[in-house]
């Protein structure tokens, strides 16, 4: 069970990158954090021995595994204050839309959109029923929720859809004290963005190296959003490398 007054969070995609950075930021700030991700060994690395970390191997695209995740959190901590809906995949890069395999499309949709929905639905149910009710959901949208990169149809479509999910959940959560927001991230330095330094396709067809920012700055932003009182909500936040070619992209 949690210590009285300790806030409880679930971070999906916690085995690496942004999820790992956010989980460690929250643990360092005194939160209890359930770490969800497909690879148990990566979750253990993220936890790094923290007593208030609970590692729950989870494939968010599988409803039964999402149910098991939230059940484990209820059993260990008794309530839930925050879901950081972060798990995601870019899918095969550089594939033209006419060549994109349907199985690859489905994998991206199942992870980025269906997984986010399943976790948000489970969080919503728990936050609505717990006493005192309420809590916060933060969705990781990406700047691709606004502007696409070339040959990124599956990723971009799911990230645009997450914006609609965020808005609908935010509206429906009002009567129950459930605040829902979205963070749109551009070029945080992780394994997923390592290719940026080698050059990525631009809208004009050229390849160009792009700047990145410290992922810790993303983690601090998520923590700020998470620690607001439920009477206040950051509906949408955009955090990006200052000089990345985003404004006017495409």
Buried b (16+ CB within 10 A) or exposed e, 146-166: bbbbebbbbbbbbbbbbbebb
- Give the span between the Cα atoms of 118 and 70, in whole angstroms: 11
Q: Which two tokens stand for residue 170?
A: 């935010």
- State the DSSP code for 145: G
- How many CB atoms neighbour CB 229 within 10 A? 7
Cα-flanking dihedrals φ and ψ of residue 60, to 5°? -65, -15
User: What is the strand order of the sheet 53-57 is part of?
Assistant: 53-57, 32-37, 8-12, 82-85, 135-140, 178-186, 236-240
Nearby residues of 26 by Cβ (< 8 Å), 6 or more positions away: 9, 11, 33, 82, 223, 226
Q: Residue 124 catalytic? A: no
DSSP class of residue 213 equals B
Nearest one of 28, 79, 77, 32 to 53, comparing CA atoms: 32
| Spatial separation of the C-alpha atoms in residues 123 and 75, rounded to whole Å | 14
Catalytic residue among 102, 124, 155, 246: 155
* Catalytic (active-site) positions: 155
């Amino acid at each position: 069970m949690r210590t009285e007054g300790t806030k409880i969070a679930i971070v999906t995609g916690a085995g690496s990158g942004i999820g790992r950075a956010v989980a460690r930021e929250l643990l360092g700030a005194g939160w209890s954090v359930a770490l969800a991700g497909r690879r148990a060994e990566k979750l253990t690395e993220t936890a790094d021995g923290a007593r208030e970390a609970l590692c729950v191997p989870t494939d968010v695209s599988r409803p039964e595994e999402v149910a098991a995740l939230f059940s484990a959190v209820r059993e260990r901590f008794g309530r839930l204050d925050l879901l950081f809906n972060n798990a995601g995949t870019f899918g095969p890069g550089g594939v033209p839309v006419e060549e994109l395999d349907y199985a690859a499309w489905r994998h991206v949709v199942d992870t980025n959109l269906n997984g986010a929905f399943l976790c948000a639905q489970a969080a919503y149910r728990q936050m609505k029923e717990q006493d005192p009710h309420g809590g916060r959901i933060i969705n990781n949208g990406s700047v691709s929720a606004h502007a696409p990169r070339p040959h990124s149809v599956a990723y971009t479509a799911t990230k645009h859809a997450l914006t609609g999910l965020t808005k609908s959940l935010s509206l429906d959560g009002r009567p129950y004290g459930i605040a829902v927001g979205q963070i749109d991230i551009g070029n945080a330095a992780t394994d997923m963005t390592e290719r940026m330094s080698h050059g990525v396709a631009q809208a004009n067809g050229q390849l160009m190296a792009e700047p990145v920012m410290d992922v810790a700055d993303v983690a601090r932003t998520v923590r700020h959003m998470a620690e607001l009182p439920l009477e206040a909500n950051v509906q949408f936040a955009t955090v990006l490398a200052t000089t990345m070619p985003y404004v006017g992209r495409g």
